[in-house]
A and B are shown apart, each in its own frame.
Chain A
């Protein structure tokens, strides 16, 4: 089954579903142009009123995002819905006869240094090797990784798949090519530095067996094994714990579309192929796939099992990674709003709200945060005349709530997530989260700039050798 190239001839949907080949479709271009021109015209005509209206809209957005976050955190704490599989089940397969066939794919590029460790980790997976196939997806021109892989004595269930060089050179393209051939019941994708819990495949197999037939994807939780390397990794761990420990489980409770994490997504293999695999043009292909599955009627659940990854300890590389994520979220948002009415009709009102707040809201807030931080600092320290006119009482009340309560809630949830994730000693780093948010905004603006300048450029996350 072909999962790459242009099959339909349509530049916007080369494989039959909307892809991020172009950043904006024609109507989006026109809409944004008209919006910008109207805004400029209105600013020229009556800048005070326009700024007031913009401020009201942004304050309402902040308030909604804050209340939404509080709501899903409360849900995650009150009604945890993660699938928990007790270890006593691992002795027998779900159907009582044999374990389902599992395919593990590992896209890698210049990962020769950590490959031996990766192989050793994968060999610890507790799954019958005759039902398991592990595919190392290596770019054909990546001599470094290829030579290391070939030099290792790989067991029989490991297979090296070479990805021929072609554009775009992205991870999802490699994954798509990697699964064009072969058969399996389930498939999981891991990153090169991942350390999944050994029983994760068995847990996922049981979770699929117990779930309703519409569940096509199981997302395992992601955590970091190196939180103590530096302050950045500590904050990053707290952020990840919030995302995977509270936000996604909260969305799971609402049975809303879940933006998949980059790795440890377990799929029903045939359904993954049926929906077209990953969008090779999207730099957060996982988020896009989660949405596409939901729109197609499939559901995603969260599994109580952790894959340990490496938190990026270097600020420049961290910003690169963040810029890619934000760029990908923007791509995903724009791709899914191309068919504006249809996507809302399919999602329904409630899930549309989740989509806008979680996908759109995530990158949008990171982009506009610096503006409001500057305005708050100006208000506190300079007390400029005339700022009051943009904050009539109701707006001031909402803004003050977001400033004094909202920001604290966002920071505090990191502390809750750390405790819940078993790294409670990091809870007090919640106090540093506002500084971490500033870094996130730097990454977000870089990503925003890249969506204009290099929309398909893949900012690869560098993985560091263990200290």
Chain B
């Protein structure tokens, strides 16, 4: 019997329309849950608003920031366009779409790869935990609205696709893995790190297959090509928008290189707790790697368990947004799912797995609040700034450099605040000849710009010959006024 006469019947979980419907229903339920937005999502929304208003810094932030990857910003933009039309909150819509994808994907994984009879128990356990166990609920509700959910959703689909590839070795699954990797690459530093961590595992799986079937040659190319292309896009876009192909790396590089060695070894409390958590996760995953049924997916989790805490630690000490929390939640969830479905019945191993899982859950719970992203604060209020300037220089424009500063003073019309991610002295001076400019410089504490090897740190310390320090706040914030008079406003113009 061939496909010509009787096309194979497709079960419900292979029907994309039904899956989309399930996703939609789930998203609707999740949308109705009372959750609040996170500072990271607020920041991402500010970038999107700036993009919608065709502001230059929005375009620069879209491609030149590793904190909020291009895909996250574009996805939020799409959610705003879609949700705005029907009066939905874009951030919430963004998160629930990602969460629904995760839940449906996990359901599919359980259906296709889980052990019969354990899926329902696992789902009931998760639901009970989410609804009745207050710390877990708090953690989930904290992480509910965050741009980093996209990383988690892509990671989850990658996990599922990889499991499918491992079992069926159909080309389609590898192509989908490659697509997920490339999309992860476009999700900022956390996404890049996750993708780079997964690539060796996937390549190893392919090389194992290659030993058996020579016809699979070309698979490494297929896997790496989209991810490499996505990485290349960063360079191209940065070159096109900022005239500097390496711009997106410069902020991280300056921050990392200006960190003293002691700072690298200093673990803030959140890092310590997360480190402990990931040690547990790594131990559990290593144990699962020896399990007969789930060793392949467990191998994919292993690099995540090792890289996520490193990334989290580095972003904490560099004082940038990590975006790893949902991915970390997902990694814990996947590890627990694998434990639930592991087939090893040796008593000692089962007990170790069980104890590790309990410890993992116990450690996971308090992380949510402590690991949350705190945006750089301490900036003088916008009204105070403008009121002060307006006393002597009404309508003077305040120039802001760097993403955190642009996010702190959004001005869609750019009447009073004008932001850029790159500091171009020539452009500043040219603009100063047209209009009166002020320059706001935050303190060099590493929150708003790298504490060292940065032009703003230099200005903060030494100023510039054409800048006059008008005001300094107790926290170290400085307001400089450009003393180059706009053309036609100086009494000395006649002498030129």
Q: A residues within 8 Å of B by Cβ?
A: 74, 77-78, 80-85, 207, 210-212, 215, 301, 380, 393, 404, 408, 412, 415-416, 418-420, 422-428, 430-431
Is B218 in contact with A418, judged by CB distance below 8 angstroms? yes
Is B219 in contact with A419, judged by CB distance below 8 angstroms? yes
CA distance A430 to B233 in the complex (A): 17
Is the CB of B231 closer than 8 A to any CB of chain A?
Answer: no
Is the CB of B222 closer than 8 A to any CB of chain A?
Answer: yes
For the complex formed, measure the closest distance between the CB of A5 and the CB atoms of chain B, giving whole angstroms.
Answer: 37
CA distance A404 to B240 in the complex (A): 13
Is the CB of B127 closer than 8 A to any CB of chain A?
Answer: no
Given contacts A77-B171, A81-B7, A408-B226, contact A415 B221 (CB under 8 A): yes
Is B221 in contact with A427, judged by CB distance below 8 angstroms? yes
Is the CB of B2 closer than 8 A to any CB of chain A?
Answer: yes
Closest 4 CB pairs of A and B: A424-B218, A427-B218, A77-B172, A424-B217
Contact of A81 among B3, B216, B221, B240 (CB under 8 A): B3
Is B4 in contact with A425, judged by CB distance below 8 angstroms? no
A-B contact pairs, 15 of them (CB 8 A): A207-B2, A210-B2, A210-B4, A215-B4, A393-B54, A412-B225, A415-B222, A415-B225, A416-B222, A422-B215, A424-B217, A424-B219, A425-B218, A427-B221, A427-B222
Near A by CB (< 8 A), chain B positions 195-229 give 215-219, 221-222, 225-226, 229
Residues of A within 8 A of B218 (CB): 415, 418-419, 423-428
Residues of A within 8 A of B172 (CB): 74, 77-78
Given contacts A85-B2, A415-B222, contact A425 B217 (CB under 8 A): yes
For the complex formed, measure the closest distance between the CB of A279 and the CB atoms of chain B, giving whole angstroms.
Answer: 28
Is the CB of B383 closer than 8 A to any CB of chain A?
Answer: no
Q: B residues within 8 Å of A by Cβ?
A: 2-5, 7, 54, 170-172, 175, 215-219, 221-222, 225-226, 229, 233, 240
Residue of A nearest to B77 (CB): A397
CA distance A80 to B226 in the complex (A): 23
Given contacts A83-B2, A419-B218, contact A430 B225 (CB under 8 A): yes
Among A74, A81, A419, A427, residue most surrounded by chain B Cβ atoms (within 10 Å): A419
Is A207 in contact with B4, judged by CB distance below 8 angstroms? yes
Is A404 in contact with B3, judged by CB distance below 8 angstroms? no
Among B4, B5, B170, B217, residue most surrounded by chain A Cβ atoms (within 10 Å): B4
Residues of B within 8 A of A393 (CB): 54
For the complex formed, measure the closest distance between the CB of B135 and the CB atoms of chain A, giving whole angstroms.
Answer: 42
Is B240 in contact with A380, judged by CB distance below 8 angstroms? yes
Residues of B within 8 A of A301 (CB): 4
For the complex formed, measure the closest distance between the CB of B396 and the CB atoms of chain A, giving whole angstroms.
Answer: 29
Residue of A nearest to B221 (CB): A427
CA distance A425 to B217 in the complex (A): 6
Residues of A within 8 A of B215 (CB): 422, 424
Is A211 in contact with B229, judged by CB distance below 8 angstroms? no
Looking at chain A's contact residues, the main secondary structure is helix
11 further A-B contacts with Cβ under 8 Å, apart from A408-B229, A416-B171, A427-B218, are A77-B172, A210-B2, A301-B4, A412-B222, A415-B221, A415-B225, A419-B217, A423-B218, A425-B218, A426-B218, A430-B225
For the complex formed, measure the closest distance between the CB of B241 and the CB atoms of chain A, giving whole angstroms.
Answer: 12
Residues of A within 8 A of B222 (CB): 412, 415-416, 419, 427
CA distance A212 to B2 in the complex (A): 12
For the complex formed, measure the closest distance between the CB of B279 and the CB atoms of chain A, giving whole angstroms.
Answer: 39
Residues of A within 8 A of B225 (CB): 412, 415, 427-428, 430-431
Residues of B within 8 A of A419 (CB): 171, 216-219, 222
Given contacts A83-B4, A210-B4, A211-B5, contact A420 B226 (CB under 8 A): no
Given contacts A211-B5, A301-B4, contact A412 B171 (CB under 8 A): no
For the complex formed, measure the closest distance between the CB of B26 and the CB atoms of chain A, giving whole angstroms.
Answer: 23
CA distance A428 to B219 in the complex (A): 10
Residue of A nearest to B6 (CB): A210
Residue of B nearest to A252 (CB): B3
Residues of A within 8 A of B171 (CB): 77, 416, 419-420
Residues of A within 8 A of B175 (CB): 77, 416
CA distance A84 to B172 in the complex (A): 19
CA distance A266 to B215 in the complex (A): 28
For the complex formed, measure the closest distance between the CB of A205 and the CB atoms of chain B, giving whole angstroms.
Answer: 13
Residues of A within 8 A of B4 (CB): 83, 207, 210-212, 215, 301
Residue of B nearest to A408 (CB): B229
For the complex formed, measure the closest distance between the CB of A347 and the CB atoms of chain B, giving whole angstroms.
Answer: 22
Given contacts A380-B240, A408-B229, A415-B221, contact A84 B2 (CB under 8 A): yes
Among B171, B172, B218, B226, residue most surrounded by chain A Cβ atoms (within 10 Å): B218
CA distance A427 to B217 in the complex (A): 9
CA distance A404 to B3 in the complex (A): 37
CA distance A207 to B229 in the complex (A): 41
CA distance A404 to B235 in the complex (A): 13
Residue of A nearest to B52 (CB): A393
CA distance A77 to B5 in the complex (A): 20
Residue of A nearest to B239 (CB): A380
Residue of B nearest to A209 (CB): B4
Residues of A within 8 A of B170 (CB): 77
For the complex formed, measure the closest distance between the CB of A209 and the CB atoms of chain B, giving whole angstroms.
Answer: 9
Is A404 in contact with B233, judged by CB distance below 8 angstroms? yes
Among B2, B216, B217, B233, residue most surrounded by chain A Cβ atoms (within 10 Å): B2
Residue of B nearest to A420 (CB): B171
Residue of A nearest to B228 (CB): A431
Is B221 in contact with A428, judged by CB distance below 8 angstroms? yes
For the complex formed, measure the closest distance between the CB of B326 and the CB atoms of chain A, giving whole angstroms.
Answer: 25
CA distance A273 to B219 in the complex (A): 45
Among B171, B221, B225, B226, residue most surrounded by chain A Cβ atoms (within 10 Å): B221
Residues of B within 8 A of A81 (CB): 3, 7
Residues of B within 8 A of A207 (CB): 2, 4
CA distance A431 to B225 in the complex (A): 9
CA distance A400 to B134 in the complex (A): 46
Is A412 in contact with B226, judged by CB distance below 8 angstroms? yes
CA distance A412 to B175 in the complex (A): 10
Residues of A within 8 A of B233 (CB): 404
CA distance A428 to B171 in the complex (A): 16
Residues of B within 8 A of A80 (CB): 3
For the complex formed, measure the closest distance between the CB of B8 and the CB atoms of chain A, giving whole angstroms.
Answer: 9
CA distance A18 to B142 in the complex (A): 68
